[in-house]
Amino acid sequence: MDLRNIAIIAHVDHGKTTLVDQLLKQSGAFRDNQEIAERALDSHDLERERGITILAKATSVEWKGVRINIVDTPGHADFGGEVERILSMVDGVVLLVDAAEGPMPQTKFVTAKALALGLRPIVVLNKVDKPEAEADRAHDAVFDLFAALDADEAQLDFPTLYASGRAGWADTALDGPRAGLDALFDLILAHVPPPAVIANRDAPFRMLATTLGADPFLGRILTGRVEAGTLKTGTTLQALSREGARVESFRVSKILAFRGLGQQPIDAAEAGDIVAIAGMSKATVADTLADPAIDRPIPARPIDPPTISVTFGINDSPLAGRDGKKVQSRVIRERLMKEAESNVAIEVTDTPGGEAFEVAGRGELQMGVLIETMRREGFELSIARPRVLIRKEGNERLEPVEEVTIDVDDDFAGAVIEKLTGPRRGELLEMRQQAGKTRIVAHVPARGLIGYYGEFLTDTRGTGVLNRVFHGWTAWKGAIPGRRAGVLISMEDGAAVAYALWNLEERGRLFIGPQEAVYRGMIIGEHSRETDLEVNPLKGKKLTNIRASGSDEAVRLTPPVRMSLEQAIAWIDDDELVEVTPNAIRLRKRLLDPHERKRQARAAG
């Protein structure tokens, strides 16, 4: 069968997964009476809750006798390790751009990767039916982006479609008939070349593994594009590492092809097709699965290095072990090593003592997703504040810098620019005003963005949109001030009392409510001053036999501040930890004993 392999790339929330839903429906991949969830490819619980794609997914449709393999990729730069590997499997990309927002930071990130591989994108201006859409302006901005990324002449001569993924239509003209996605299907067949490797069908079998999965019945599964040869079930293959060392020899137990939303067993896979193979026990991402006669691996693309590091430790608080079943350091280490194996953008190293592990990755969102996944699996963890990784080149210290793109109402632009370019050491690149909105583009050290998002939402009253993407490395910018406020620390163990919390409200914002379990050294609120304050949240009202009218009514408490996992990790200071269990997120001091904290402060001073 004739083949086309394409990836759909875009900035987060520009409509990739919704468009894939419509491609599946209109190609006949679903039965007419089949019930399909919205964003069918986002099958992971966290993807559905957050409305983002975290893991790349493959599917396929048939159109006019041609099989089109489609890969849906994540839009967040934190999951860019997925995007980089996926693009090496395909021969064309559909670049989706929101007609109202135009190209955004992640659009630039994924487009740069695609252009560098020599792929010729098809540009789809999506959401053109939105009232604020400006398709012509978005088209010009895409051309400018391609030119800035050094696209060649063939890449600059890109075909453009106007579409609404949600409504299920795409057209070559903005005022076209708007009936179905036929124009997109036909353009893919005409513009995307068949896999060049089809010519290698008679050569010995070779395939580069790009994603790793697991099945309860089949065990380990590796997905990739067949680069050469034909593979049948039962064949013996070898796995070669990036360096060419032999990892293992194994018998192929199953070959799975992507058909619609499912995977179907097939008897044979040919060069050019994207398939999943089962039967191996050690082979992993970036390994070459090949015929035993092959002695050289397929070159694997280098992945951008991690920029931040987070320490994962065992939960040693007085409430440890009440919620989770997986609490030992050995179990935590096994789980992290398993994650690093399937996610090439993550690196795990042991720390002295063996009870904590340094996990390096792309950003706070990637770390937050990993921690959230682990807590749902029953793990209890203590998480330290993220640290930015520093490079040494000669005598110079280099730190990662991110390109930040912010859209805010004009009234808030001043406050945002002041915060970014002042204490956070950012550099303003561009400021554009249009229809009451200001777009700000700046280069800011990654250190300066840790913990900034919550502050940004407060400054813009929840209306601002902030996007960030890794830009490069720059010379160390000097000290960046951390959190200014101190914390309220519990000095007792037990259950918090409403009357005590009511008396503490004037001291600052509280993070807990009445009857919640607290322990000595746990952070129960943010102090209104810069110093830490030890308080007693268990102190009840002294009872007497005299009742005064009005004063003994039930106390009315302000609802406590509840931080999300990412907010909590970014908010804490270096001497604090986030305690994460399946049912709770608590903040605590690293040293629970107040005397030990004082001793350490004296030693540090």
- Specify the residue for token string 């070959």: 255
Contact by Cβ (8 Å): 403, 474 = no
Provide the whole-model pTM: 0.70
Residues of the chain with pLDDT under 70: 1, 12-14, 16, 28-57, 74-84, 199, 261, 301-304, 342, 344, 542-554
Helix, strand, or coil (residue 157):
coil
Largest CA distance in the chain: 97
By DSSP bridging, strand 2-10 and strand 66-72 are parallel
Q: Which tens digits make up the pLDDT trace of 528-578?
A: 888 889 999 988 776 655 555 454 456 788 888 888 888 888 888 888 999
Rg (CA), the chain: 27
**CATH numbers and ranges of domains, the chain:** 2-194 (3.40.50.300), 198-290 (2.40.30.10), 391-475 (3.30.70.240), 487-604 (2.40.50.250)
Q: Which tens digits make up the pLDDT trace of 265-316?
A: 898 988 888 898 999 888 888 889 999 998 889 887 666 678 889 999 999 9
Distances (CA, A) of 334 to 82, 343, 357, 484, 492: 22, 14, 11, 37, 35
DSSP 8-state assignment for residue 106: H
Q: How far apart are CA 320 and CA 593, in angstroms?
A: 16
- pLDDT for 548: 52
- pLDDT for 34: 43
- Specify the residue for token string 């353009």: 187
- Cross-strand pairs, 62: 67
Q: How far apart are CA 231 and CA 239, in angstroms?
A: 14
Q: How far apart are CA 219 and CA 279, in angstroms?
A: 7
- Cross-strand pairs, 309: 360, 387
